[in-house]
Amino acid sequence: MLYFLVLFAILIYFYGVRTFNYWKNRGVKHDSPIPFFGNNLRQFFQKASMAMVATEVYNKYPEEKVVGFYRGTNPELVIRDPSIAKRILVNDFQHFYARGFNPHKKVIEPLLKNLFFADGDIWRLIRQRFSPAFSTGKLRAMFPIITERAEKLQIITKEVSNLDSYDVRELMARYTTDLIGTCGFGLNMDSLNNENSQFRKLGKRIFQRTPRDAFNAGLKIMFPELFKNIHFLAPEIEKSMTYLVTSVMKERNYKPSGKNDFIDLMLELKQKGKIIGESIESKNSDGTPKTVEMELTEMIMIAQVFVFFGAGFETSSTASSYTLHQLAFNPDYQKKVQEELDRVLSNHNNKITYEGVNEMYCLEKAFYEAMRMYPSVAYIVRKCSSPEYTFPEIGLTINEGVKVMIPIQAIQKDDKYFKNPEKFDPERFNLGVKEYKDVFFPFGEGPRACVGARLGQMQSMAGLAAILQKFSVEPAKCSVKNPKPDPTSIVSEGFVGGLPLKIKKRKME
């Protein structure tokens, strides 16, 4: 009996280290991995977010263009060189079109069949059909809703301006949740008036990484086939989102209602029939892409609403609240932004309009600088989709299925590319973002760049303009200039203790 136990233990051990010569054999520097956990032990146990881990790896090997990493037993490659990152995201996209968040060829979870998580032909067909939803014309038509919510934000901000401190992260999350609820569902979720609204609770739960979530994720990463039927997402998220979207669609008799929200858009797209397009995965014998098609089922529609809601409120609230945080600690630039706001808004009847927001250059520079220092999505993952791929810059060949990780936050805070990277300096964007196009990409880059980036930026800037038009922000007694990142964050980064600030009514001259 003892013999079999020892044999079993030896077999288990070798299973847990079976891939750990991958980077050694290719001459790629990396930390020594731990059986089963690889280099990812701290993230599995919620001691560090993936963004924190990626940044640590980036900073530990300053002379390398790439660094090896093991997520569980899976070899991954951290990209330190911006030119290689651009090649992956743009030039050689056909080899790296997959994000690879799902460890299975077939997506198991219904809600993950969305524009962010889906890969291959499913992603391409969804992107093809949904891209027009975020056109300039659609954004302009949607802006009156943004104006209405921004004005409501001013009323709520007045109520908390008497407090010693208030978490602006929560304030902006309530604003963006309310806005996404209106734009997405045509519903008044009242997240601004009620910080404990069911809609706000759902938003918090989506991006809350509980021990259950971490445990399930660890099992799926380390033993993908054995645990392929357990879900990353908690059952209550899928149940709540399915019920919410289905209820709205039933109320509209599965026909567009004229509200011009996201559900209306999908009902319109549904009426157009199957989505047909060129395959990104399969080719005909002559080398041309095969034609593929997909039915826009109710569950796929629900999945798109899920990602529109989740990504829409979380990333925007992170970006806008961190902008306020930096302006609180940089009052001279805050004053400059407010002087510009007063000037611009006076030309638009003191209302926050689409045209007015596009004239707020100082605010835009502050927003870009905040996104440079603390991008809402701090890293990008892509999976090699070709049998093998060789990086021409370094002669390294990787195999199909190997993921590459681009640590955006680490690159954007590297003094090699940004002078005094820890300093909040919006003036570095005087010429816009073009000067830094190879090292500044907080919304991603290439064909899989964020399709809703413009909407996210506009709603963030409208919210910032609404607050700074009538209020000023300054550090509270409990404020921390360099807040600690939340180690339990998933895709979007959070902060331990939030971002408490003192909000004061402006003394208008």
Burial 459-481 (b: 16+ CB within 10 A, else e): bbbbbbbbbbbbbbbebbeebee
Residue 189 vs residues 144, 167, 174, 317: alpha-carbon distances, Å:
17, 20, 10, 17
- First vs last C-alpha separation in the chain: 86
For residue 395, give the amino acid letter: G
- Token pair, residue 381, equals 């993952």
Report the C-alpha gap between 45 and 85 in whole angstroms: 29
Please compute, for residue 299, the number of CA atoms within 13 A of its CA located in the half-sphere on the CB side.
Answer: 10
Is residue 478 marked as binding? no
373 contacts 322 by C-beta, under 8 angstroms = yes
DSSP state of 133: G
What residues are paired with 227 via a beta bridge? none
Report the C-alpha gap between 192 and 169 in whole angstroms: 13
Radius of gyration of the chain (CA): 23
Report the C-alpha gap between 424 and 283 in whole angstroms: 49
Cα 385 → chain centroid: 22
Report the C-alpha gap between 318 and 494 in whole angstroms: 7
Query: Annotated binding site, which residues?
Result: 450
Binding residue positions for heme: 450
